[in-house]
Amino acid sequence: MPELPEVETTLRGIRPYLEGRRIERLLVREPRLRLPIPPETSELVAGQTIGALARRSKYLLIGLERGALIVHLGMSGSLRIVASGSPPKRHDHVDLALDDGHCLRFHDPRRFGLFLWTPESPEIAQIQHSLLRDLGPEPLGDAFDGDYLHALSRTRRVAIKSFIMDAAVVVGVGNIYANESLFLAGIHPARHCHRVGLERYRRLAATIRAVLRASIEQGGTTLRDFVNEDGQPGYFAQSLRVYGRAGEPCGICGEPLRLKRIGQRSSFFCPRCQH
């Protein structure tokens, strides 16, 4: 599943191709995504000029003269810039054709993604839209820090890994990044969140920021290039310290890394370095 760094990398990749361009047409080959694309969407967006692009959690917001497009990649979705009129592949469900001959193509084999128009501006949608209004703060934003996590955790009785993966607590800390951040912060993923002290939360928040920034800089862990038709995998996977490495020696102490199911997700940790 594309995570926050993959979505941020996608945003930075497609932004130069979209901002300031006029939409020639919206071609919907398959409207049956997680939420169906209403048939009137094509008429609503055609002819509009694209304004600023933004990201909220794992949602991309494409600002228009009237309203915005909200895009979510779901479990298997991706966006690619191609030449308008280029033959679609299987599972290429939506084309946003632009006035310069380029096209933003939405590909989604499992069809769990979203491609919706809203009459709200991106700024208003982030506050009022039902998909966005209840989300927690951005992990790279000013509202997120260890003091915030510590205060919120005092009344919770869940494993800390589940706590930081809750989008109502903080957005974008997916399974890979939660595993890596907890390892680097020295916190066992099954420890109850209310039993973690303030200083350890401050270290964890800083670690989450560092891990996500490193992944963004390296192109995400799973993202395939948005322009090159063949695509190249992201490089951050080469830097993973615990995720997917159960049974291998810990890079710090040499103890075999372990695997445990927490909140129905695979959790990788070092039994010696994390407590």
Residues annotated as catalytic are 2-3, 58, 265
* Two structure tokens written together for 227: 């322009």
Q: What angle do CA 165, 56, 158 make, to 5 degrees?
A: 15
Distance CA 171, CA 7 (A): 12
Q: What is the DSSP track for 195-249?
A: GS-HHHHHHHHHHHHHHHHHHHHTT-SS---SSSSS----SGGGG-SSTT-TTSB
Distance CA 95, CA 275 (A): 49
Distance CA 127, CA 200 (A): 31
Question: Which among 88, 118, 112, 102 has a CA at the least distance from the CA of 28?
Answer: 88
* Two structure tokens written together for 151: 């205060």
Q: What angle do CA 266, 269, 272 make, to 5 degrees?
A: 155
Cβ atoms of 154 and 188 closer than 8 Å: no
* Two structure tokens written together for 47: 């002819």
Distance CA 180, CA 183 (A): 5
Residues facing residue 266 across a β-bridge = 261
